Amino acid sequence: MEVVRVAGLQKVYGDGGNPLYALDNVTFSVEEGEFLVITGSSGSGKTTLLNMLSGLDVPSAGGVWICGSSLKDMEAEERTVFRRRNIGVVFQQYNLIPVIDVYENIVLPLRLDGALIDEGYVEEIAKMLKIYEKLHKMPTELSGGQQQRAAIARALVMKPAVILADEPTGSLDSKTSMEVVGLLKSCSEKFGQTVLMVSHDEDVAQMADRIIRIEDGKIRE
């Protein structure tokens, strides 16, 4: 089943006389449960594409559909709610809140949505990501790899259809990077979630089910 559809996607900056195409007619789809890596050189359009997929930015032309819903046709507040419920986002810099413990960081999306906390599910993903013993530690007490695992747990807790990860291993050493990506892939397989990950690391990319290479805002292969 198709979970993500991108069609004719364009993002143009500048005036009509000298436009800069950050994305130029990007089209692809992603099936349920697929682990996809988007790779390319710095400035190729990878992060811009991820911002479109998450609804953090809107395209100049074309569109993105998540589970059949068009992001560009939503109002900003509607997109925010849709993203919280359907898209889990993992950032390179973790973005954990330093004044609350790991458990509260993980369940924060549920609290923001007024949803019930499935304690069994939180425990399950924490154990799978090997941070169960760290749930009541503060983020500053964790290593970089452990903080990234907590960020992944936070992305998983709403049971979203899609996980978007923007260079999630960029601040980690190579050994920890491979471990974190392996855990992310295992979680996606166990919980049936579709993962789209931006990475410039070829070793990480080789763990994907499929690789999309983007250069100068266009898909090259």
- pLDDT band, very low/low/confident/very high, at 98 (cuts 50, 70, 90): very high
What share of the chain in percent tops pLDDT 70?
Answer: 99
More confident call, 71 vs 171: 71
Element (H, E) at 142: none
HSE (CB half, 13 Å, CA atoms) of 179? 13
What pLDDT does residue 1 have?
86
- Please report the pLDDT score of residue 203 as a whole number: 83
Name the burial class of residue 163, with classes exposed (0-12), middle (13-18) and buried (19+) by CB atoms within 10 angstroms of its CB.
buried
| Band of residue 17 on the pLDDT scale cut at 50, 70, 90 | confident
- pLDDT band for position 73 (cuts 50, 70, 90): very high
Region 105-122: mean pLDDT is 94
* Whether 47 contacts 221, CB under 8 Å: no
- Assigned CATH class of 2-219: alpha beta
Determine the Cα–Cα distance for residues 34 and 153; give it in Å rounded to an integer: 19
Mean pLDDT of the chain: 90
Residues 92, 95, 98, 103, CA torsion sign: negative
Neighbouring-strand partners of residue 196: 36, 164
Question: Which structure tokens are listed for 59?
Answer: 């395209």
For residues 91-115, b (16+ Cβ closer than 10 Å) or e, as one string?
bbebebeeeebbbebbbebbeeeee
pLDDT range class, residue 16, cuts 50, 70, 90: low
Confidence label for 167 from pLDDT (cuts 50, 70 and 90): confident
pLDDT of 111 above 90: yes
Contacts of 172 (CB under 8 A, 6+ apart): 144, 145, 148, 180
**CA-CA distance, 177 to 154, in Å (whole number)?**
18
Q: Which residues of 22-42 are buried (b: 16+ CB within 10 A; e: fewer)?
A: bbbebebebeeebbbbbbbee
Return phi, psi of residue 49, to 5°. -60, -45
pLDDT confidence bin for 206, thresholds 50/70/90: confident
